[in-house]
Amino acid sequence: MLFHVRMDVHLPHDLPPTEAAEILAREKAYSQELQHSGKWRHIWRLAGQYANYSIFDVRDNEELHAILSGLPLFKFMDIEVAPLLRHPSSIRDSDA
Amino acid sequence: MLFHVRMDVHLPHDLPPTEAAEILAREKAYSQELQHSGKWRHIWRLAGQYANYSIFDVRDNEELHAILSGLPLFKFMDIEVAPLLRHPSSIRDSDA
Amino acid sequence: MLFHVRMDVHLPHDLPPTEAAEILAREKAYSQELQHSGKWRHIWRLAGQYANYSIFDVRDNEELHAILSGLPLFKFMDIEVAPLLRHPSSIRDSDA
Amino acid sequence: MLFHVRMDVHLPHDLPPTEAAEILAREKAYSQELQHSGKWRHIWRLAGQYANYSIFDVRDNEELHAILSGLPLFKFMDIEVAPLLRHPSSIRDSDA
Amino acid sequence: MLFHVRMDVHLPHDLPPTEAAEILAREKAYSQELQHSGKWRHIWRLAGQYANYSIFDVRDNEELHAILSGLPLFKFMDIEVAPLLRHPSSIRDSDA
Amino acid sequence: MLFHVRMDVHLPHDLPPTEAAEILAREKAYSQELQHSGKWRHIWRLAGQYANYSIFDVRDNEELHAILSGLPLFKFMDIEVAPLLRHPSSIRDSDA
Amino acid sequence: MLFHVRMDVHLPHDLPPTEAAEILAREKAYSQELQHSGKWRHIWRLAGQYANYSIFDVRDNEELHAILSGLPLFKFMDIEVAPLLRHPSSIRDSDA
Amino acid sequence: MLFHVRMDVHLPHDLPPTEAAEILAREKAYSQELQHSGKWRHIWRLAGQYANYSIFDVRDNEELHAILSGLPLFKFMDIEVAPLLRHPSSIRDSDA
Amino acid sequence: MLFHVRMDVHLPHDLPPTEAAEILAREKAYSQELQHSGKWRHIWRLAGQYANYSIFDVRDNEELHAILSGLPLFKFMDIEVAPLLRHPSSIRDSDA
Amino acid sequence: MLFHVRMDVHLPHDLPPTEAAEILAREKAYSQELQHSGKWRHIWRLAGQYANYSIFDVRDNEELHAILSGLPLFKFMDIEVAPLLRHPSSIRDSDA
């Protein structure tokens, strides 16, 4: 089941650089593991923003929330979620 | 070059049904031709909305505008555009 | 799978009364059938508003959209959708 | 009498973890006691958000406020309240 | 039980004057009857606006909605409702 | 002359409790003195909010501002002001 | 007593030109009479907008509302009102 | 050339009182010097707000910016600017 | 003197095509004459929008308003104006 | 390829002056180097704001993001990006 997610990151400007670097390294590893598993289907950077648009393909709402709330950057993010489905004009059976 | 686009459709409630059906048929054909060409990479319906999120892969801003302003539903749509790029955490070279 | 939905109804003030009455009768029958099936779990009126908050329990995003876009009042509504899940403080296994 | 409430939690990122844990434990106990009493009828997590939608069934506005302002997390929350009533299309006498 | 209500009136500019006058006369009679009953405790005009702030003292949410949805101008209004209670700094037992 | 005022209080979460208690005690005394004088005609708590709606009956804009800017909590408040007048449907000469 | 008022005009695009011209002529005469009386102290056009900022010097809220609701363009306007007073840094006793 | 400016002041609540007093004294002197020069034509306090509406009469955009960015409170303010001109209904040649 | 202007065009969907074509032809001629005169320094289309960003170099606010309010599409546009000046980091004396 | 960018700067009021000065010096050098290269085509200050409107002429979205995210002030800015193209009414082949 597909979800569209926008994440905006707001790091406090007084976060110690080593702490920030450590969180960002964990965030990258966490994201890449989920991409390899096929659950995090797409991730794009928005030009000029510390933000991304992502597409998730998960079993249900519970799994989506478990993934998002487990993000190392979760407490520094504003997140918007929209449930998606196949568009009737799509040329594909699914569009994950 | 990738762009994220959201389209919200607002058909006037007094649009004659035959006129609406004719526009929607042209819209679908137009969209599918661009999907086959590889320029309209993804299209998803938002659950509960007369709206879609789409990803376009085009040569430049001019081509994006030519495609969007040529939509048969263009004058009935609110459109938001965001330029995208590869995310540094992506596991792929491109994520079109 | 649970979804929270808000629906705001905006009937054009020049809609002929017989047409409005016919749509509203179909809307009520449609809603009650879905309530009996267990898919439309709750529906509440907001005091002072021509609007409702509803809880749906459906198989997936596709089913949610099929239900909402099939509403006789769909073209006169603004709809907001939020995916829900069990709250960790809930005293119940599910809270449908 | 039914009320729809949305609560968004904003914990300061520099709140000491032990203090946060202590508040969250009290919050959970407080919520569950009210759920057992029947006053806090439903609580759902919004996917991807540190937020919940809840339904309260209370005697009057005073009791609602006493409950909400007594939340251990109250000073870290944005709260929205909407008074509800039975929807005319509901198949039940009440829909608590 | 007290509620704070804001009503903004938007009459279509092409509403026939006799129809408008008839609705406004019914609106005034309806409001004054409720004021005499004690349920519509206060009504104030906002300077420069076709709008009012009102205080209602009703039995419950159901009665509030019955009153508001029965307004002859209801379909031409935007309405906001907020449940009220005695303020802890008030010098009176109630402040209806 | 009547004014409608909404006050939302935002106490910094790191305000020392004794300082907060002292300000709140002064706020209450200040409000009650103005209520006794007849200038602060009504004050209601909004259910679920650290906020109030109030009605002031003052000589002019200057007096209103002197009262509001003198509030012990003034620097922690968001305040909205709307000038009021007797509504043409009111059953009373004044509605203070 | 001073008030700051912003007026935005939205003429329906299908208003017959002769009707529009007649309303605008009455609007101008109405405004100039109030300017001569000293009640409408200032009126400025906002560059690029069909809108004005104005300063009124009136006896009280009632008089302000009587003036604004009597504007021939009133039903085609969005109006915002803010009560003003002498600024403590002003070099004048009043600043009408 | 006339400009309409709104300034909202947000002093950090932990600004040392002596520092605040020193800035405010400089702000007042700065404002009064510009009022005497004729460039800062009007300044009004908004009732209930730590804010002002002002009218400036300056040579050009550069001079306006030099004045506003030179305000001792500049870094604590939100500022909105609107270019003005003589209104066609004004009874005066200019309305500075 | 430089101004930044955004124009959004909203043509009524029932505007007769010949009338629309005639207005658009006049709009284009009007714009190009001002571009040749040097007053309308830049005009860009926003991708995916029926809108433009423009830079005007005019004598004063009056001239800017005369140009904008004279646009054949003026009554179908939402317009936003911001006064500009040379940026202190610019490598040019002016940046028209 | 052209992009319109708005940047709003929000320096923390407790940023040490020497640190602020050092960042601003780097920002200016960075901007001027890009202006000399032709990639940062225009930069204007908004009157009364700590903000600028800029036009970039870059190869693609990636280059735009590399430039913007490399700004020494990036973490203190709110940035909005809009892709641009030649306007059909422009008198020039390009309008960089």
Q: Which amino acid is at G9?
A: V
B12 touches chain C (CB under 8 A): no
Q: Which amino acid is at C81?
A: V
pLDDT band at G14 (very low <50, low <70, confident <90, very high): confident
Contact J5, J56 (CB under 8 A): yes
Count chain E–chain F contacts defined by CB atoms under 8 A: 86
Question: Across the interface, do I48 and B12 touch by the CB < 8 Å criterion?
Answer: no
Residue C95 has pLDDT above 80, yes or no: no
DSSP class of residue E41 equals E
Question: Across the interface, do H43 and G4 touch by the CB < 8 Å criterion?
Answer: no
Helix, strand, coil percentages for chain H (3-state, nearest 5): 35, 35, 30
pLDDT value at residue D13: 84
J73: left (phi over 0), alpha (psi -120 to 50) or beta: alpha
Three-state DSSP state, D82: strand
- Cα–chain center distance at H16: 24
DSSP class of residue E80 equals E
Taking only the tens place, the pLDDT of each residue in B78-88 is: 999 999 999 99
Residues F10-14 have a mean pLDDT of 90
pLDDT band at I58 (very low <50, low <70, confident <90, very high): very high
pLDDT value at residue J94: 79
Architecture of domain H2-83: 2-Layer Sandwich (3.30)
Taking only the tens place, the pLDDT of each residue in A68-78 is: 999 999 999 99
pLDDT value at residue E13: 84
How far CA H27 is from CA of A2, H18, H65, I71, J59, in Å, comes to 56, 14, 16, 42, 47
* Neighbours, chain I (3 or more CB pairs < 8 A): B, G, H, J
Residue D76 has pLDDT above 90, yes or no: yes
Helices (H), A10-83: 17-37, 61-69
Q: Which residues of chain J have pLDDT under 50?
A: none
- Burial class of residue G2, CB neighbours in 10 A (0-12, 13-18, 19+): buried
Q: Measured between alpha carbons, how far is J47 from E16 in angstroms, rounded to an integer?
A: 47
Instruction: End-to-end CA distance of chain C: give it in Å, rounded.
Output: 9
Q: Please tell me which residue, E46 or C94, carries the higher pLDDT value.
A: E46
Element (H, E) at H32: helix H17-37
DSSP characters for chain I?
-EEEEEEEE---TTS-HHHHHHHHHHHHHHHHHHHHHTSEEEEEEETTSSEEEEEEE-SSHHHHHHHHHT-TTGGGEEEEEEEEEE-TT-SSS---
Q: Measured between alpha carbons, how far is B66 from J87 in angstroms, rounded to an integer?
A: 12
pLDDT value at residue I73: 98
Contact A40, A54 (CB under 8 A): yes
Q: Please, do chains E and D touch (3+ CB pairs < 8 Å)? A: yes
I13 touches chain B (CB under 8 A): yes
Residue H72 has pLDDT above 90, yes or no: yes
pLDDT value at residue E26: 98
pLDDT band at B64 (very low <50, low <70, confident <90, very high): very high
Of all residues in chain B, what percent carry a pLDDT higher than 70?
100
Residue I14 has pLDDT above 90, yes or no: no
Contact F64, F3 (CB under 8 A): yes
Residues C22-47 have a mean pLDDT of 98
Residues A43-56 have a mean pLDDT of 98
Q: Which of D13, D81, D84 to mutate to test the interface with F (most CBs of F within 10 A)?
A: D81
Residue in A11, A13, A48 closest to J81 by CB: A48
F70 touches chain G (CB under 8 A): no
Listed in sequence order, the residues at least 6 apart from D82 whose beta carbon sits closer than 8 Å to its beta carbon are C46, C47, C53, D3, D4, D5, E81
Three-state DSSP state, A27: helix
pLDDT value at residue C44: 98
Q: Please, do chains D and F touch (3+ CB pairs < 8 Å)? A: yes
Q: Measured between alpha carbons, how far is J43 from J67 in angstroms, rounded to an integer?
A: 14
Residue G16 has pLDDT above 80, yes or no: yes
pLDDT value at residue I94: 78
Three-state DSSP state, G40: strand
Q: Please, do chains B and F touch (3+ CB pairs < 8 Å)? A: no
Taking only the tens place, the pLDDT of each residue in G36-82 is: 999 999 999 999 999 999 999 999 999 999 999 999 999 999 999 99
Question: Across the interface, do I65 and H85 touch by the CB < 8 Å criterion?
Answer: yes
D95 touches chain E (CB under 8 A): no
Q: Measured between alpha carbons, how far is A66 from I66 in angstroms, rounded to an integer?
A: 58
pLDDT band at G6 (very low <50, low <70, confident <90, very high): very high
E83 touches chain F (CB under 8 A): yes
pLDDT value at residue C83: 98
Q: How close J11 gets to chain B, by Cα (Å)? A: 26
Count chain D–chain F contacts defined by CB atoms under 8 A: 23
- Burial class of residue I21, CB neighbours in 10 A (0-12, 13-18, 19+): exposed
Contacts of B62 in chain J (CB under 8 A): 85-86
Q: Measured between alpha carbons, how far is D58 from J67 in angstroms, rounded to an integer?
A: 56
Q: Which amino acid is at E36?
A: H
Q: How close E29 gets to chain F, by Cα (Å)? A: 8
Question: Across the interface, do F86 and G60 touch by the CB < 8 Å criterion?
Answer: no
Q: Please, do chains G and H touch (3+ CB pairs < 8 Å)? A: yes
The structural domains of chain I, with segments of one domain joined by +, span: 2-83
Q: Measured between alpha carbons, how far is D26 from D29 in angstroms, rounded to an integer?
A: 5
Q: Which of D69, D77, D84 to mutate to test the interface with F (most CBs of F within 10 A)?
A: D69
Q: Measured between alpha carbons, how far is E78 from E49 in angstroms, rounded to an integer?
A: 13
Among candidates F49, F53, F60, F59, which has minimal Cα distance to F79? F53
Contacts of I45 in chain J (CB under 8 A): 84-88
Residue in D1, D62, D83 closest to E81 by CB: D83
pLDDT string in tens for chain E (96-residue length): 999 999 999 999 889 999 999 999 999 999 999 999 999 999 999 999 999 999 999 999 999 999 999 999 999 999 999 999 999 999 998 777
Q: Provide the mean pLDDT of chain A.
A: 96
How far CA G18 is from CA of G14, G21, G23, G31, I74, in Å, comes to 11, 5, 9, 20, 19
Q: Measured between alpha carbons, how far is D43 from D73 in angstroms, rounded to an integer?
A: 15
Residues F46-66 have a mean pLDDT of 98
Q: Provide the mean pLDDT of chain H.
A: 96
pLDDT band at B13 (very low <50, low <70, confident <90, very high): confident
Report the half-sphere exposure of A53 (CA within 13 A, side-chain side). 21
How far CA I80 is from CA of A12, H68, J68, in Å, comes to 33, 21, 25
Contact H57, H41 (CB under 8 A): yes
Contact J9, J76 (CB under 8 A): yes
Residues C82-96 have a mean pLDDT of 92
